[in-house]
Structure 1
Amino acid sequence: MRLPRDPSNDAHVLAAAFPARLADDVQDVLAVMPDARFAPSQPFEVEVQGETVAIPSRIYNEEPDADLERRPPKTQQVILHCLYSRHCDGLVRQRRLEQLVASREPWVVPFVVQLAGEYVLEILEAISRGLPGLSRPNSPQRRLYGQFIARNPTFFARTERRLVSYWSCYYRWKYGTFGTYPGCILLEAFRTAVEEQVGTPWPRHTPPPAPAMTMPRA
């Protein structure tokens, strides 16, 4: 017989996705989220401003009532969007991403970069639209993402490899070379951001980009 899952375990896993200073805000957010059908899956660890967080690869909670979502303060709304950017439904992930991608909070960055390594082309395009600052030297967005990648080289390398695999599996027929794929253009923008921070070339784990392929400017 399968025993019922303890929702408090799920709450612990979701709370671990954010810095400790946000614990009270996270608990308020979890209070409005419906119980999940399944436990959060496969957390991945990254460093955010010197603190390790563990973000689930997927969550299985239904979305809260829209009226409940409008009540929390801005920080709690962003936390909610971050959590649902890990939802098992790609349309939910995209919709939540579009609400959080412009945030300048360092703890939002890993949620965005993780989505850059996934397979939904529309999500990659939404990230590019939401991060116009990646194309501008010394912009706040470029510094924010460059600093995160510099602290998390293994995570970024894994993101690169996953993106190449998804391109090869799902999009090679449309983009015959990886360098023309929108995901490659996005990765190059991230690489430029980290190189600006560290002052040296950053290791590449993908085929080279196409000549003169850059993110569109805002």
Structure 2
Amino acid sequence: MQLPRGPSNVTHVLVAAFPTRLADDVQGVLAITPEARLAPIMPFEVEVQGEAVAIPSRIYNEEPGTDLERPLTGTQQVILHCLYSRHSDGRVRQRHLEQIVASSEPWVVPFVVQLAGEYVLEILTAIGRGLPGLSVPGSAQRRLYGEFIARNPAFFARTERRVVSYWSCYYRRKYGAFGTYPGYVLLEALRAAVTEQVGALWPRYTPPPPGDAGEIPA
């Protein structure tokens, strides 16, 4: 779904991608962001610490120059990188993801998890590299991502299904078993995070681990 174009509408859509307390900072970022020929498309809704946000699936704005970015505050720079992690160009998404993946801000998490469900292999690798704490019991990263997934089970289930679909479509020849695919490794780390958070096994919507004869839930 292409959203109606227009400066006020686009601003509203992009501000809605972040908690309301960040509205002024988002406006500051949008003030230096080049206008796009196409409006953002297909926002997806998630909950961040009890507040609903709606993040666009893609944006089409050109990147601002470094001279325009330089005066932004630290928070504003993170917001800019989050927005451009939704860019239509995969190389742009990866470049901006690498600037935010290690962030401890809860509102950054959905931008990262959404990218886990996309098809660019280099992005999956970058996420795994930027989240080493997912494999460390009790770590801050595990708590951060576990809490988000626990609040957004349908979103994570959809992400799992997307990972399987992209593996089957694009990477099955390179990774003959789903268990060897980087997306699978990342999903297992995220599932371990939410399992630790809730204290119970989390439902699985991917092929079972090697040696496990369990079925994929319907």
Which range, TM-score by smaller chain? over 0.9
Shift of 1:189: 0.1
Cα distance in 2 for residues equivalent to 1:70 and 1:100: 16
1:94 is the counterpart of 2:89? no
Which residue is 1:11 aligned to?
A: 11
Which residue is 2:196 aligned to?
A: 196
Shift of 1:95: 0.2
> Where does structure 1 differ by over 2 angstroms across 4 or more consecutive aligned residues?
none
Shift of 1:208: 1.6
Cα distance in 2 for residues equivalent to 1:24 and 1:93: 24
Cα distance in 2 for residues equivalent to 1:54 and 1:151: 15
Cα distance in 1 for residues equivalent to 2:109 and 2:142: 11
Q: Which 5+ residue runs of structure 2 have no aligned equivalent?
A: 212-218
Cα distance in 1 for residues equivalent to 2:88 and 2:52: 24
Equivalent positions of 1:18-57 (< 5 A) are 18-57=18-57
Cα distance in 2 for residues equivalent to 1:209 and 1:39: 40
Which residue is 1:127 aligned to?
A: 127
1:209 is the counterpart of 2:209? yes
Is the Cα contact below 8 Å between 1:184 and 1:209 reproduced in 2?
A: no
1:67 is the counterpart of 2:71? no
Shift of 1:37: 1.2
CA RMSD of aligned residues (A): 1.0
Is the Cα contact below 8 Å between 1:188 and 1:209 reproduced in 2?
A: no
SS in 2 for 1:110: helix
Cα distance in 2 for residues equivalent to 1:5 and 1:175: 41
Which residue is 1:167 aligned to?
A: 167
Q: Which amino acid aligns with 1:76?
A: Q
Shift of 1:209: 2.7
Shift of 1:47: 0.2
Shift of 1:140: 0.3
User: % of aligned pairs identical?
Assistant: 79
Cα distance in 2 for residues equivalent to 1:69 and 1:136: 34
- Residues 79-102 of structure 1, C-alpha deviation per residue, up to 9 Å, x if partnerless? 000000000000000000000001
- Residues 139-159 of structure 1, C-alpha deviation per residue, up to 9 Å, x if partnerless? 000000000000000000000
SS in 2 for 1:59: coil
TM-score, normalised to structure 2, is: 0.94
Cα distance in 1 for residues equivalent to 2:54 and 2:176: 35
- Residues 174-207 of structure 1, C-alpha deviation per residue, up to 9 Å, x if partnerless? 0001111000000000000000000000000000
TM-score, normalised to structure 1, is: 0.94
Shift of 1:121: 0.3
Cα distance in 1 for residues equivalent to 2:42 and 2:88: 12
Cα distance in 1 for residues equivalent to 2:6 and 2:80: 21
Q: Which 5+ residue runs of structure 1 have no aligned equivalent?
A: 212-218
SS in 2 for 1:32: coil
